[in-house]
Structure 1
Amino acid sequence: MEGTFTGGCGCGALRYALPGPPVEQTHCQCRDCQRRSGTGHSSWLVFASVADTAITGPASHWTATGDGGTEKRHAFCPTCGTPVYMAFPAMPGIIAITAASLDDPARFQPRHVTWTRAAQPWDSMPSGLSAHAQMPPG
């Protein structure tokens, strides 16, 4: 999965371009992802090349501590409210973008489901993905 990954918010004010490939693609069923998505999980592409990331437009932020104790800094568009990306203060080289914010969401190819111990019974995942009760070790 080569090439630049581009996307942004619903109104187009907040945009990004990230060189590929992502280091991880996953669905997360933790309670934080459930709350922020308004459904049973969030879907993420994780990149380890923050220095090569181009983010344009304004972003508003809020910080939360995940189920595993990781501090996460969520970024969203202050105009339309679309969640776009997440950064981790303890891991400054990592950025995760929401799969739905991609210009071409079909590029999202999940391999894992994390935090299945917090899964809601009505949020079923595709078969064939490796499932982890919480975040697997790095």
Structure 2
Amino acid sequence: MNQRTYTGGCACGAIRYEATGEPVAELHCQCRHCQMRSGTGHSSYVVFAGAGAVTVTGEPRSWRIAGDSGNEKIHAFCQTCGTPTHVTFAANPEITAIHPGGLDDPTRFHPTLMTYGSRGLGWDRHDPELTVLEKGPPA
């Protein structure tokens, strides 16, 4: 079986990640938290599932917050340059979402989904071909 590998990291190179296999989702999220954290209208993610699906090297810092679902999200970032690198979830630690802007080849990101469309801002335009969920993905 030929598995795809996604590599990337932070802006200064102190944090690197490698994800192997097919993503379970490629999406934009318009929840208020993602808007505030990104400083834009949404955040983007390539999501991988499975123990060991994503390997991170370096020493990221993290902070935690409860998402709209009530589940705790753990946001990792580079303590040197501040680049957000990935997100994990307390309720399901085998899910890791990496930020596609940090991919060595960001053209590999092909979103098909927009979550929390109910929180979208009129100035944050998106591809009309995306499936838009009013809230988060089904559990």
Structure 2 equivalent of residue 60 of structure 1: 61
Deviation at 1:31, TM superposition (A): 0.6
3-state SS of paired residue (1:64): strand
* TM superposition shift of 1:49: 2.6
Q: Where in structure 1 do 4 or more consecutive aligned residues deviate above 4 Å? A: none
Spell out the pairing of 1:118-129 with structure 2 (5 A cutoff). Answer: 118-129=119-130
Percent identity between matched residues is: 49
Q: Is the 8 A contact 1:19 1:49 kept in 2?
A: no
SS in 2 for 1:17: strand
Whole-Å Cα distance in 2 between the matches of residues 61 and 4 of structure 1?
24
Structure 1 residue 20, shift from structure 2 partner:
2.0
Instruction: Find the residue that maps to 1:34 and give its secondary structure.
Output: helix
Question: Counterparts of 2:75 and 2:137 in 1: how far apart (Å)?
Answer: 21
Q: Provide the rounded CA distance (Å) in 2 between the counterparts of 1:50 and 1:17.
A: 13
CA distance in 1, matches of 2:89, 2:132: 23
Determine helix, strand or coil for the equivalent of 1:21: coil
The residue identity in structure 2 corresponding to 1:111 is: T
Report the Cα offset of residue 2 of structure 1.
Answer: 4.5
C-alpha contact (below 8 Å) 1:50/1:95 kept by paired residues: no
Aligned equivalents of 2:96, 2:4: Cα separation in 1: 17
Deviations 1:20-69 (A, max 9, x none): 21000000000111011110000000000342422111100000111221
- 1:119 is displaced (CA, Å) by 0.8
Cα root mean square deviation, aligned: 1.3
- The match for 1:3 is 4
TM-score, structure 2 length as denominator?
0.95
Q: Deviations over 1:57-98 (max 9, x none)?
A: 110000011122121000000000000000001101110001
- Mapped to 1, the partners of 2:45 and 2:110 lie a distance apart of 10
Matches within 5 A, 1:13-24: 13-24=14-25
Give the unaligned 5+ runs of structure 2: none
Local SS of the residue matching 2:35: helix
Residue type matched to 1:119 in 2? G
Matched, 1:90 2:96: no
**How many residues of Structure 1 are paired with residues of Structure 2 in the alignment?**
138
Q: Please list every run of 5 or more consecutive structure 1 residues that lacks an aligned counterpart in the other structure.
A: none
